[in-house]
Amino acid sequence: MAHKFLTSYLEDSIALFRHYKKLGEGAIAQVSDEHLCTVLDPEMNSVALIVKHMAGNMRSRWIDFLTTDGEKPNRDRDTEFEAPPATRQAVLKLWEEGWAHVFAALEPLSDADLTREVTIRNEPHSVMQAINRQIAHYSYHVGQIVFLAKHFQAEKWKSLSVPRKGSADFNARVLRGEASQR
């Protein structure tokens, strides 16, 4: 993620969401079709189920974000962890639809909206608190996706950030202005 000095919380938050979306996409792209639904043990979720859960959460939290509870009555969270999408195309469709809800809700907001009250599971949150909650939630799940993708790829993994034993080269590129520090 290219570092850019910002004073707008909303602009920075949207940039963070875009960063985590891109990071997830870079990991998913490295997972074989077979491994999209693979679990490491019975208590873990596959990449496909994590995406399904994230999409369900995004739909619930961001549709009518300012006017309805972020936990919609028609959401069945438990089923998000059952029956993974059967194809890569279906996984990616859920991924894109989920993120579309995030950006459709956030992009029209202004800094004045940050102190407005929204509810999630009948609990009041400021808009800023709700955004922070979702940044933390999505980064957690993207981290799970990256972990699984890296595990499945092993030595074929292509780093999505500074590669192992690549700090010196990265730092030199930063000093030359060729790479971002963030």
Task: Delimit the domains of the chain by residue range.
Answer: 9-175
Q: Which single residue is written with the structure tokens 């709700």?
A: 130
Q: Which single residue is written with the structure tokens 């639904």?
A: 37
What pLDDT is attached to residue 179?
62
Q: Mind listing the pLDDT tens digit for each residue in 118-141?
A: 999 999 999 999 999 999 999 999
Q: Mean pLDDT over residues 23-50, rounded?
A: 97
Query: Average pLDDT, whole number, for the chain?
Result: 92
Do 61 and 130 meet the contact criterion of CB atoms below 8 Å apart?
Answer: yes
Question: Domain 9-175 belongs to what architecture?
Answer: Up-down Bundle (1.20)
What pLDDT is attached to residue 157?
95
pLDDT band at 177 (very low <50, low <70, confident <90, very high): low
Q: Mean pLDDT over residues 131-159, rounded?
A: 97
Q: Mean pLDDT over residues 20-42, rounded?
A: 97
pLDDT band at 31 (very low <50, low <70, confident <90, very high): very high
Alpha-carbon distances of 71 from 23, 43, 75, 120, 130, rounded to whole Å: 26, 24, 7, 6, 12
pLDDT surpassing 50 at residue 156: yes
Say if residue 131 is exposed, middle or buried (CB neighbours under 10 Å; 0-12, 13-18, 19+).
Answer: buried
pLDDT surpassing 60 at residue 2: no
Q: Mind listing the pLDDT tens digit for each residue in 40-66?
A: 999 999 999 999 999 999 999 999 999
- Which range is least confidently modeled, 45-54, 97-106, 169-178? 169-178
pLDDT surpassing 50 at residue 32: yes
Q: Mean pLDDT over residues 94-121, rounded?
A: 97
pLDDT surpassing 80 at residue 170: no
Element (H, E) at 172: helix 167-175
From CA 182, how far away is CA 180, in angstroms rounded?
A: 5
pLDDT surpassing 80 at residue 145: yes
Q: Mean pLDDT over residues 133-152, rounded?
A: 98
Q: Please name the residues in contact with 50: beta carbons below 8 A apart, sequence gap of 6 or more.
A: 141, 144, 145, 148
Rounded to 5 degrees, what are φ and ψ at 130?
A: -65, -40
